[in-house]
């Protein structure tokens, strides 16, 4: 299937666990990329999802309606998905304003950005750290530091596979810091689907990196990025 780009930021088709929800995509097609879901529309999604999750529990042999610890669980789970775990599927990304770099052409690095996501395959959490960097270039743009955290949150608060999440964060930073001469993103995360089910190995972590421009082509830029990353790791 051809990939669909909404607002030039999304890199998987809508409706996929790693992409925006079908509800938001339908509104965007009518009202443009800044369209948002109303509170009533979100409540409807939560209510319908809770109803289906109740059926899921029933099929697993749970009398959830009678059990005081489970009677509100379908609603709790549906709210957690829409408001927290998958929040990035139901909201467009915050508008990120960029500013002229005013001649700054060095590395802009932010490390140890905490990341919580959910594996698309098993719906188990992924937790770790993200390290990001870009070099604006003489005519390039810079963005407020906390915007890098917001970009990470927007794409992580969905279903994810770590490889694709790495690319999504990279592409968003690259687009927003137009004129940059390189972007680097590295994620180091543990996957509960590995530690809690299947092979059940505790403590294994997965590192992924997406580098472009100077970080890919110049040894010195790549070394500077990884030196900053290792500075956190050795603390
Ligand atoms: Zn998994």
Compute, in angstroms, the gap from residue 30 CA to the centroid of ligand 1. 34
- The pLDDT value recorded for residue 7 is 58
Residue 203's pLDDT is what? Answer: 79
Residue 88 Cα to ligand 1 midpoint, Å, equals 19
Cα–ligand 1 centroid distance for 121 (angstroms): 5
Q: What is the pLDDT of residue 5?
A: 42
Q: How far is the CA of 172 from the centre of ligand 1 (A)?
A: 24
CA-CA distances (angstroms) from residue 166 to 26, 129, 227?
A: 26, 11, 19
pLDDT of residue 99: 86
Q: What is the pTM of this model?
A: 0.92
Please state the separation of Cα 33 from the chain's center in Å: 18
Q: How far is the CA of 123 from the centre of ligand 1 (A)?
A: 7
Q: What is the mean pLDDT of each run of 10 residues along the chain (235 residues)?
A: 53 90 93 91 98 98 97 98 96 85 92 96 96 91 91 96 95 91 97 85 90 97 96 67
């Amino acid at each position: 299937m051809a990939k669909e780009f909404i607002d030039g930021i999304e890199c998987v088709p809508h409706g996929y666990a790693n992409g925006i929800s079908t509800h938001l995509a339908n509104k965007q097609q009518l009202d443009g990329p800044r369209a948002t879901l109303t509170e009533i529309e979100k409540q409807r999604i939560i209510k319908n999802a809770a109803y289906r999750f109740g059926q899921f529990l029933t099929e697993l042999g749970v009398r959830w309606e009678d059990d005081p610890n489970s009677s509100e669980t379908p609603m709790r789970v549906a709210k957690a998905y829409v408001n927290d775990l998958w929040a990035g599927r139901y909201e467009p990304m915050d508008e990120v304003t960029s500013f002229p770099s005013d001649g700054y052409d060095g590395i802009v690095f932010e490390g140890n950005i905490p990341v919580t996501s959910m594996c698309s395959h098993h719906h188990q959490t992924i937790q770790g750290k993200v390290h990001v960097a870009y070099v604006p270039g003489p005519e390039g743009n810079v963005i407020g530091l906390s915007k890098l955290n917001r970009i990470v949150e927007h794409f992580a608060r969905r279903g994810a596979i770590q490889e694709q999440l790495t690319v999504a964060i990279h592409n968003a930073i690259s687009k927003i810091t137009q004129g940059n001469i390189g972007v680097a993103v590295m994620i180091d995360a543990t996957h509960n689907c590995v530690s809690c089910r299947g092979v059940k190995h505790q403590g294994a972590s997965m590192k992924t990196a997406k580098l472009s421009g100077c970080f890919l082509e110049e040894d010195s830029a790549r070394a500077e990025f990884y030196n900053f990353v290792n500075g956190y790791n050795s603390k």
